[in-house]
């Protein structure tokens, strides 16, 4: 039993890593995709939906599909998600238009976003409360590893030589998505042989009272008592599937088979409206498109409707009603803002390297690697220092260090190649600062939630960070692209018509120099905005629970109410 659980954990972590890699892999090849789709360098705003489409699907699907796994079983939902992930990868690899790329990436996001909560719920099924934190930490590490390795992974695969098979391009950036098909197939095969199948629930006995519903849909079951066995928590020994399977009492939500479809639809609608509201295909005219404010207003109303529904619904996407709201909201807000800073960095450092330093995709991802390697180092340091300094102090300090790093990045010179080690140092400072925040945020949210809700609370931190990435990259890039268009609005593209070759070459060089100068202003000002985001997050982190504050109520205290 113990060995089978470890194998299932390894497979679950692998599928989470596969989805996390694809959440970040595309930042490496955005410019390559833009070139293949004939998107000009001064119209990069048209390629941002490739990022936001994935994130929108990822965040919107995460809680709802986690609940569906409560109803239909973990293994069928993981298989369905892997199949949809492979299909989205094929659509993206075959894409010949912006719409097809965005559609394929959104389908990938929907499938990938569900894998994390389903795997966490599987851990809740298989591990008791004493061993569960280590298993949850392993899955969380797989998620974080994807953010660190994703850009480098994409840069390496993008080096695949161009190759057509039966008229279909399989090399270059297309290889990033074609390779997902066999990987998803292998993962599905591993899941089939390691993850327990669902077992039909027996018909209820009228003489037996129904079991109490768990506190959280998809969350960990309550801890075992001395008289219970793993089968009492939804696991039963079985000879047919390696000695174990999901028992008939596997968690089924706050109500038997309950799925909060209305809450999921409202959350997805709110996020979609906000993203559409800040996406401007014509940034030369204004920061927001003509439909921007109406869409944003509708998104806010949909978000308010989601909150209203979740307060009153008997079945909820994210039930943290037993948790102290102030510290929890502060912690999730910090995760949201750090997510915004993280993705802005990953996208626009890559853009900076490829446009101002004329690097290819791999070289640019190696430059970004300074930041990405500093993140886990900072996370380890944060875990060591949190015991001495407390979560609140360390979170505030880390965010201020990150703000200093971004402030230094906003002072990068136009001739970036001459900056030498300054670029490396600034990226390391920003990465270390954000890394220092990872452990305090994770520890703080677990400390203010009951043990039975640790799984859903951990997922909430990830959801908040991904929402920050989604809203942050959409909003900050909208402003940045408008700034670039306003700086280049007076420039006329030189044409080789009616002039000699020498004159055309001179005019083209002058035009290119001015475009590069405008890009430099755009990027450095966006890094300054990111510094402001980190300062705002530091202010919010003051309300994160400190070291001396007591943990939230225990599961036993709720059972006595």
Tell me the C-alpha distance between 392 and 445, whole Å: 12
Q: What is the mean pLDDT of residues 288-301?
A: 92
Tell me the C-alpha distance between 233 and 322, whole Å: 21
151, 175, 198: which is the final residue of a domain? 198
Tell me the C-alpha distance between 468 and 345, whole Å: 13
- Say which CATH number the domain at 345 has: 1.20.1250.20
Whether 289 and 391 share a structural domain: no
Whether 277 and 402 share a structural domain: no
**Does residue 462 or residue 223 have the better pLDDT?**
462
Does 413 reside within a domain?
A: yes
Does 532 reside within a domain?
A: yes
Contact 115, 62 (CB under 8 A): no
pLDDT of residue 200: 54
Choose the weakest-confidence range: 60-69, 182-191, 371-380, 520-529: 60-69
Indicate the number of domains in the chain.
3
Whether 300 and 369 share a structural domain: no
Whether 465 and 496 share a structural domain: yes
Tell me the C-alpha distance between 241 and 269, whole Å: 40
Does 360 reside within a domain?
A: yes
pLDDT of residue 203: 45
Mean pLDDT value across the chain: 79
In the chain, the N- to C-terminal Cα span, in Å, equals 35
**Does residue 431 or residue 166 have the better pLDDT?**
431
Whether 53 and 171 share a structural domain: yes
Token couple for 458? 């951990």
**Does residue 458 or residue 214 have the better pLDDT?**
458
- Bridge partners (DSSP) of residue 245 are 236
| Confidence band, pLDDT 50/70/90 cuts, at residue 156 | confident
Tell me the C-alpha distance between 360 and 159, whole Å: 9
3-state secondary structure of 66: helix
| pLDDT tens digits, 333-353 | 999 999 999 989 988 998 899
Does 254 reside within a domain?
A: no
Whether 521 and 550 share a structural domain: yes
Does 487 reside within a domain?
A: yes
Residue whose pair of structure tokens reads 């080789």 in the numeric block: 496
294, 314, 334: which is the final residue of a domain? 314
271, 290, 314: which is the final residue of a domain? 314
Residue 69's alpha-carbon distances to 108, 114, 169, 259, in angstroms, are 18, 9, 36, 10
Whether 37 and 170 share a structural domain: yes
Whether residue 243 is predicted with pLDDT greater than 50 in this model: the reply is: no
Contact 172, 32 (CB under 8 A): yes
Whether 465 and 539 share a structural domain: yes
Does 255 reside within a domain?
A: no
Contact 180, 85 (CB under 8 A): yes
Share of the chain above pLDDT 70, in %: 81
Residue-range definition of the domain harbouring residue 297: 260-314
**Does residue 410 or residue 5 have the better pLDDT?**
410
Whether 306 and 394 share a structural domain: no
Share of the chain above pLDDT 90, in %: 24
pLDDT of residue 382: 84
Does 158 reside within a domain?
A: yes
Contact 281, 292 (CB under 8 A): no
Whether residue 249 is predicted with pLDDT greater than 50 in this model: the reply is: no
Does 81 reside within a domain?
A: yes
DSSP string, 409-460: HTT--SSGGGGTHHHHHHHHHHHHHHHHHHHHHHHHHHHTS-GGGHHHHHHH
Would the CA dihedral through 282, 285, 290, 295 be positive or negative?
Answer: positive
DSSP string, 375-398: HHHHHHHHHHHHHHH-HHHHHHHH
pLDDT of residue 529: 94
- Bridge partners (DSSP) of residue 168 are 165
Whether 440 and 503 share a structural domain: yes
pLDDT of residue 129: 63
* Distance, C-alpha 456 to centroid of its chain: 16
Whether 153 and 115 share a structural domain: yes
Tell me the C-alpha distance between 62 and 23, whole Å: 13
Whether 388 and 273 share a structural domain: no
* Nearest to 555, CA basis, from 219, 244, 247: 219
């Amino acid at each position: 039993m113990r060995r089978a659980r470890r194998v299932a954990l390894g497979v679950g972590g692998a599928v989470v890593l596969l989805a996390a890699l694809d959440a970040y892999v595309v930042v490496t090849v955005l410019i390559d995709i833009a070139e293949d789709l004939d998107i000009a360098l001064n119209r990069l705003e048209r390629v941002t939906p490739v990022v936001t489409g994935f994130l929108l699907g990822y965040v919107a699907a995460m809680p709802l599909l986690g609940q569906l796994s409560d109803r239909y079983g973990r293994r069928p939902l993981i298989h369905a998600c892997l199949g949809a992930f492979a299909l989205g990868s094929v659509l993206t690899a075959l894409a010949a238009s912006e719409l097809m790329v965005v559609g394929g990436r959104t389908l990938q996001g929907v499938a990938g976003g569900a894998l994390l909560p389903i795997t966490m719920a599987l851990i809740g099924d298989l591990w008791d409360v004493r061993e569960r934190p280590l298993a949850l930490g392993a899955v969380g590490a797989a998620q974080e590893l994807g953010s660190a390795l994703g850009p480098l992974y994409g840069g390496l695969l993008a080096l695949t030589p161009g190759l057509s098979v039966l008229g279909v391009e399989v090399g270059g950036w297309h290889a990033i998505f074609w390779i997902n098909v066999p990987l998803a197939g292998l993962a599905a095969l591993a899941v089939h042989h390691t993850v327990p199948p669902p077992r039909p629930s027996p018909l209820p006995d009228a003489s037996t009272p129904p079991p109490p519903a768990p506190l959280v849909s998809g969350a960990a079951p309550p801890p075992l008592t001395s008289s219970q066995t793993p089968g009492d928590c939804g696991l039963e020994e079985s000879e047919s599937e390696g000695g174990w399977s999901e028992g008939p009492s596997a968690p089924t939500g706050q109500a038997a088979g309950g799925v909060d479809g209305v809450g999921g639809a409202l959350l997805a609608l709110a996020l979609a409206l906000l993203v559409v509201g800040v996406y401007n295909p014509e940034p030369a005219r204004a920061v927001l498109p003509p439909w921007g404010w109406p869409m944003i207003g509708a998104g806010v109303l949909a978000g308010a409707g989601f909150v209203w529904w979740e307060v009153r619904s008997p079945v909820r996407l994210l039930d943290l009603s037993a948790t102290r709201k102030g510290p929890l909201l502060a912690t999730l807000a910090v995760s949201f803002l750090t997510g915004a800073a993280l993705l802005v960095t990953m996208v626009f450092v890559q853009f900076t390297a490829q446009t101002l330093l004329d690097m290819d995709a791999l070289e640019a991802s190696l430059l970004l690697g300074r930041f990405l390697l500093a993140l886990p180092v900072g996370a380890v340091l944060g875990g060591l220092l949190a015991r001495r300094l407390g979560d609140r102090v360390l979170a505030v300090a880390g965010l201020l260090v990150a703000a200093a790093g971004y402030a230094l990045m906003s002072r990068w010179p136009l001739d970036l190649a001459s900056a030498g080690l300054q670029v490396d140092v600034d990226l390391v400072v920003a990465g270390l600062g954000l890394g220092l925040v990872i452990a305090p945020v994770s520890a703080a949210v677990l400390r203010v939630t009951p043990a039975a809700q640790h799984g859903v609370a951990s997922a909430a931190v990830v959801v908040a960070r991904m929402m920050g990435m989604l809203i942050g990259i959409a909003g900050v890039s909208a402003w940045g692209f408008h700034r670039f268009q306003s700086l280049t609005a007076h420039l006329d593209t030189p044409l080789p018509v009616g002039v000699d070759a020498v004159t055309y070459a001179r005019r083209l060089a002058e035009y290119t120099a001015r475009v590069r100068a405008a890009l430099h202003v755009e990027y450095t000002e966006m890094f300054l905005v990111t510094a402001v985001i980190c300062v705002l997050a530091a202010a919010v982190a003051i309300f994160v629970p400190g070291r001396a504050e007591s943990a939230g109520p225990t599961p036993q205290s709720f059972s006595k109410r």
